[in-house]
Amino acid sequence: MGRLLGVALAVWPASASAQLVLVGSLDGPAETVVVSGNHAYVGAGAELRIIDVSDPTSPTQVGAFTVPDRIYGFAAAEGRVYLACGLRGLLILDTSDPSRPRLLGTHETPGQAVSVAPGDDVALVVNLMTGLEVVDLSDPSAPTLVATRDTPGYQRDVALAGTLAAVIDQPSGVYLFRVNGPRAPTALGHHPATDVPARSASVTTDDRLYVVYDRTGLVEILDIADPDAPRLLGSYRPRGRPQQIAVSGATIYIPNGQAGVEVVNVSNPRAPSLRGTYDTPGAARGIAVAGSRVFVADSTALLVLEHAR
């Protein structure tokens, strides 16, 4: 069983929907987290842990997989996990049986693979040497490189929503591409970095792009309805220096390390409002949202939070 932790919620003036309560936890190294279906995938160092969260009060580890390099970034979808594993490139796991994850295919990259975003029969992988790679996954046991796209600096993150991809480049900002299946993507617009360097991107289906900056934690909110001309709508400066955020509708969830989690309403992007904070016992590093639940990779434990009713 997961160990329940008694952690207080500091509530700022807000509606009840912004309040979070702890419902379950599971000890173990936790730097990043991705949720797909009834499972949370938790990465730390070279290990991926697979955790059954169908009962949020009792998250249970059901499987694990160790890679030959560090896990820099990963994504999960439809019984597969896609891992960006540094100099080992892209690893594709079959997790249809979560108790026995198995290596399905690999794709070596020229430089360190640091982020991956899967789409329809393709995976977008960024590495620190050749930039964005489009990998054909029509045969996942033999992934094939079909195209690359470079940017001026070092690519650090890639995010995909539908056919629109955002690529973080250090130090020049974020570049948008239209993904055309297993072929070269089409270059669209560019948003220059404000607080160098940019660290991560989140693209949503409501034509918004969120950019997180490494040294200050600044979160920018961009309108990308016209992806050829991304437009800055507003920004929010959290208490900590997060590496990423999670987005759900008009709310963003920010893991702030030792400062815990912030819940921020961005329905008015010109004036984002802090709606609540949650003081985690460790250092909140990774975060994911699925429905009413918020999953926090808190360094030494996975926390499962829910919005209070």
H/E element holding 59?
none
Q: Judging by DSSP bridges, how do beta strands 144-149 and 154-161 pair with one another?
A: unpaired
The residue ranking higher by pLDDT, 10 or 80, is 80
Q: What is the DSSP letter of 284?
A: B
Q: What is the pLDDT of residues 131-160, one digit of tens each?
A: 999 999 999 999 999 999 999 999 999 999
Dist. CA 300–CA 309, nearest whole Å:
28
Kindly state the tokens that stand for 264.
Answer: 């921020």
Q: Taking a C-beta distance cutoff of 8 angstroms, is the pair 34, 40 a contact?
A: yes
- How confident is the model at residue 308, as a pLDDT? 79
CA distances for 75 relative to 62, 240, 304, angstroms = 18, 25, 19
Residues 6+ apart with CB under 8 A from 13: none
- How confident is the model at residue 286, as a pLDDT? 98
Mean pLDDT of 39-44: 98
pTM above threshold 0.75: yes
- How confident is the model at residue 195, as a pLDDT? 84
Q: Is the pLDDT of residue 306 over 80?
A: yes
The residue ranking higher by pLDDT, 181 or 308, is 181
- How confident is the model at residue 90, as a pLDDT? 98
Q: What is the pLDDT of residues 207-246, one digit of tens each?
A: 999 999 988 999 999 999 999 999 999 999 999 999 999 9
Kindly state the tokens that stand for 279.
Answer: 């003081």
Q: What is the pLDDT of residues 242-292, one digit of tens each?
A: 999 999 999 999 999 999 999 999 999 999 999 999 999 999 999 999 999
Kindly state the tokens that stand for 131.
Answer: 């930039």
Q: Is the pLDDT of residue 6 over 70?
A: no
High-pLDDT (> 70) share of the chain, %: 94
Residues 6+ apart with CB under 8 A from 75: 34, 81, 82, 116, 117, 118
- How confident is the model at residue 3, as a pLDDT? 30
Dist. CA 168–CA 210, nearest whole Å:
11
Dist. CA 268–CA 281, nearest whole Å:
31
- How confident is the model at residue 14, as a pLDDT? 36
Residue 189's nearest CA partner among 213, 166, 207, 171 is 166
Q: Which region, left, alpha or beta, applies to residue 162 given φ > 0 means left and ψ of -120 to 50 means alpha?
A: left
What does pLDDT average to over the chain? 92
Phi/psi for 101 (5° steps) reads: -65, 140
- Provide the b/e sequence for 92-108 (b: ≥16 CB within 10 Å): bbbbeebeebeebbebe
Q: Is the pLDDT of residue 2 over 60?
A: no
Residues 6+ apart with CB under 8 A from 206: none
Q: Taking a C-beta distance cutoff of 8 angstroms, is the pair 197, 171 a contact?
A: yes
